[in-house]
Chain A
Amino acid sequence: MNTLVSPGLIRRVGAPISVMLAASLALVIIGCALLAGWIAPYDPTDLSTFDLMNAEIPPAFTADGDSRFFLGTDNQGRDLLSAMMYGARVSIAIGGGAVLLASSIGVFLGLIAGYFGGKVDALIMRIGDVILSFPTILMALLVSGIARALFPQAATAEWAPLILICAIAIHEWVQYARTVRAATMVETAKDYVKAVKVIGLPSHRIMLRHILPNVMGPVLVIATINLAAAVLTEATLSFLGVGMPPTYPSLGTLIRIGNEFVFSGIWWIALFPALTLVLLVLAVNVVGDWLRDRFNPKLRVKR
């Protein structure tokens, strides 16, 4: 892994080894997940590839294991490793999608609120406050629940990812908006913005060309930490039964399935997905934390 990362890069980025390791780990998991379609031994979504007769086989390295299924199989006879890779892909896709959606909306609204102030600002912040009064999980649950009630097909594998992305993003955009708004207000008060206003540049140009590059820093930090949170939220929703269905499971769904078997000694169906989930989120959080500390001016050592 470290042949990909030259010493020059390490020195320039300036991150401690632990962070570089975490970043590498995250990249490995994400890489496997994204390439799942090509590198997974089996396709868990294709009904013809698995057989109920193969259900609940323990991992290959244990006593009763089968060398065909490295991490064992689940209750439907699917290869767990493949299901995990596809599951990770779904989890990351939904998490990433939610972050993209939330950040786009949030940055846009935050810029407008911070730059123009006044009624526009008050309106956006009011809406944000109302939304923030409720935790993510609740909003996501509600959106999912209502979607299912209105469109029964919402529970299916095709629609569920989209619903989940919207459900998560509808709460998350607020923190981007707030942060960008605060940063925009700081920048707008600075003299270089006044200078270009005096020069006569129109508002949209000032916002996009001058202010946006200066407020993107914190957005990156939030997005990283948010990615971890979004993946966790999706996993929680799937665990609760309102996320990805068992026909196209995410890591959370797999844990849900495994949970029912945990007490009867069939531990692998729950353990491996849980481990993967935790490692992925942990890796992303480590990188996010480091980014946040690096960009925090107060922690910089003064000369």
Chain B
Amino acid sequence: MPRHDVLVIGAGLAGQRAALAAAEQGVSVAIVSKVHPVRSHSNAAQGGINAALNPEDSWESHAFDTVKGSDYLGDQDAIAIMCREAPEEILHLEHLGVPFHRNEEGKLGTRAFGGASQARTYYVADITGQAIMHVLYEQLMKHSDSVDRYEEYFTTSLALDDGGNCCGAVLRNVRDGSMELFEAKNVILATGGNGQAWQPTTNALICTGDGIAQAYRVGAPLMDMEMIQYHPTTLAGKGFLITEGARGEGAHLLNANGERFMEKYAPNKMELASRDVVSRAEQTEIDEGRGFPDGTVALDITVVPKKRIHEALREIVLVGRDFAGVDITREPIHIKPGNHYTMGGIKTDSDGATEIPGLYAAGECACVSVHGGNRLGANSLLDTLIFGRRAGVHAANRTKQVEVGRPSKATLADEEALIGSIVGRERGSGRRVSEIRKELGQTMDRFVSVFRDDEGIKQAQEIVARLKQEAETAYIDDRGSIFNQDVLGALELGYMLDNAECACVGALERTESRGAQYRTDFPERNDDEWLRHIELRQNGDGPQTDYSPVTITEWQPMERTY
């Protein structure tokens, strides 16, 4: 049985940063991931990472933009920590070797991004997430003596000791199907978001909300699960992302009449208003008949100088060419709002600690909350790194202070039995896992998306409840041990259904419009009643609702215009 002081689950940016930070404290660390670390979805973060590093800029300005972007649902103490520590983190990455874009003097250069009052986004072309993640993986290879890597190990559940402390996890080695109990004094979840519960989505197939559901199942509260970001520029049908960096570089949004419609919705910031604002504007244009017949509006990047496109938006040139058959340097590309980011997640404090002792969460699976109702572009990479590091350091220091019980072997036996029962289900005994997954995605995209209302959310709830039942008997084809992705898909479906159920409950509960939650039946923001977080705990069959106040330090809620 592998034993470590700190077990990090998930190896995207948050997980890798957490593992490296914990190892630096001199404790034993393992990082496990259901895919090879460099396949993690942090790769997809194209545009950049925010930091007030410029002498003319200030962390307060960055923090205010973030608070405003969050529609005042973000906790201001956590936001202050993130924005204050951002410059140092960027410099740390630069020192590790991230080839950030330079200005003519050879210093770090920036680009403009949505919802920001200053150009404070540092970037590597439009592969910023990939560049940072590969550099962190270089560091994991370098420090292989202090961080054990378990690549392609799928976590099926968390283990608690008799005192309710998290003390490990059950993992399945994907390559040979063996199950193992990993013992750890601390567990850090860094498993990413739940975008795959929506279809289409910009998220990768692996983003199935595993860690969020696993934490929820052992009793950790989830927070603000209704806050699901729809990104303004995704390819119709396939859901692929076109970076906000395109608009940062000056690209325009046009409706089918060729009008730059953002003039109506955000006359000052135009295309660079917050994502929720731009997505609603686009959806309104489309719904009111000013979109294209394929249900889209156009993103015109041709206004950006060609040289600049090749240097700064290379990935988008490829996405346009390979996945839409469009040369973005010559013609506009059709886009629409699409599921993109989970602002809610496992409730943590600013050190990543959850309410379960020994259990931490960081990155997209966590809700600190720094994003509140709407995340600003280029704040997600920052979130993963700052809170990944903080969780790693805190967890490492905690190992020196606590005694933790041993996980019970029964946990392993239970998980083995569960997998055995899924594999043993008779073919044709129920629905296919893939069918349920597809219906779930379509349901959530239809009812819990840019615009929501009571009737629609309730309909989604009913369908999700039915799908949960169907999932109990859903069958798979692969009966083998080696690289059995089928059985993992069945487990992921269960996680996604828990995520979807919680998103519905939150969306129904919050009878106001704030950030990504826009209720057509409650179109106004209601600070008197709803300037608070919605917490969900597992209680028997369904989530039990609770509330907690939003931390407000310096910035009182104001009307939000761009």
**A in complex with B:** no
B residues neighboring A (CB under 8 Å): none
A residues neighboring B (CB under 8 Å): none
